[in-house]
């Protein structure tokens, strides 16, 4: 019986593990992908104390720190089921392994949002991807489209422009929601074309992507020929495990938590991009902060 089960191997999960270990709590941390969404950040320039670091490198530092404590047991595996039992909680992992703990911290983050346009499913993995910073390398010297106007889209376009021939940044509005730092970066790239106030109606091709069709013509045509399409239209919180235990959501569909990151289900805490804390500001810093607070909340809960 562990003191705490942490689900999620990203910034909030690893930070929570660092703190629970320092509280001398027997900790089990698990997740399907080591590094979580942090792996998709090509450049991190806002982690305090480090001017510039790649997302995967930062996450490796998180992992090394958390697993340096003897109190922490680390495993990469998918969680199939989370149940409430008399003594606490029971996790069933892929392969049937069962782990039990007195409390749980859900640091499951978020998943990429789908565009929902014609051809998206058909060409997924055949030119359609959901991480420009991850997959831009495969489109060296080619024409690509990045769809979206937030941080991930604008950052992705700036990164893709380093290798692609032309990057078409397609956004349904006439202004970006992204951090000005990244907007300035992408505007400085001479091979980025801005396709604003347009929606993508269809992604078309044959064996692979050949282009996108717009709802309004741009420069005399309603189609743009591209070899790849990066869909970066935000993310949705991963809430399935929370709702399976009856935890309440807020009106926006995020896990509702108290100031100590406690959900409405006793002993179940949540931290990171899946919660309604930190003003929905999905950053490494806010995720780490919530992970630390959740660990403190667990410690206080167990003491009480």
Residues with active-site annotation: 131, 134-135
Neighbours of 77 (CB within 10 A): 14
Give the length of the chain.
304
> CA-to-CA distance for 294 and 272, rounded, in angstroms?
10
> CA-to-CA distance for 148 and 156, rounded, in angstroms?
10
Cα of 158 vs its chain's centroid, Å: 19
Say if CB 228 and CB 197 are below 8 A apart.
no
> CA-to-CA distance for 114 and 235, rounded, in angstroms?
8
């Amino acid at each position: 019986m562990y003191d705490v089960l942490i689900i999620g191997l990203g910034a909030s999960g690893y930070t929570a593990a660092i703190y629970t270990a320092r509280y001398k709590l027997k900790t089990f941390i698990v997740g399907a992908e080591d590094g979580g969404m942090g792996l998709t950040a090509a450049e991190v320039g806002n982690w305090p104390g480090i001017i510039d670091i790649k997302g995967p490198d930062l996450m490796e530092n998180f992992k090394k720190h958390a697993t340096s404590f003897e109190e922490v047991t680390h495993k990469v595996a998918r969680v199939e089921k989370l149940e409430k039992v008399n003594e606490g909680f029971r996790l069933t992992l892929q392969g049937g392994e069962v782990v039990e703990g007195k409390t749980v911290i859900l640091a499951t983050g978020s998943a990429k949002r789908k565009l929902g346009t014609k051809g998206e499913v058909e060409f997924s993995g055949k030119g359609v991807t959901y991480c420009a910073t991850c997959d831009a390398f495969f489109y060296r010297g080619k024409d690509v489209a990045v769809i979206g106007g937030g941080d991930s889209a604008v950052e992705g376009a700036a990164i893709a422009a380093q290798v692609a021939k032309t990057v078409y940044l397609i956004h349904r509005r006439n202004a970006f929601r992204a951090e000005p730092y990244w907007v300035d970066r992408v505007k400085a790239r001479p091979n980025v074309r801005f396709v604003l106030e347009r929606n993508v109606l269809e992604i078309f091709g044959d064996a692979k992507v050949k282009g996108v069709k717009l709802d309004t013509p741009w420069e005399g045509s309603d189609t743009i020929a591209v070899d790849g399409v990066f869909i970066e239209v935000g993310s949705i919180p991963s809430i399935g495990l929370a709702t399976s235990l009856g935890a309440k959501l807020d009106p926006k569909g995020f896990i509702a938590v108290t100031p100590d990151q406690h959900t409405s289900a006793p002993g179940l805490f949540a931290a990171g991009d899946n919660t309604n804390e930190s003003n929905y500001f999905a950053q490494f810093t806010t995720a780490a902060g919530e992970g630390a607070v959740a660990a403190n909340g667990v410690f206080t809960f167990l003491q009480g």
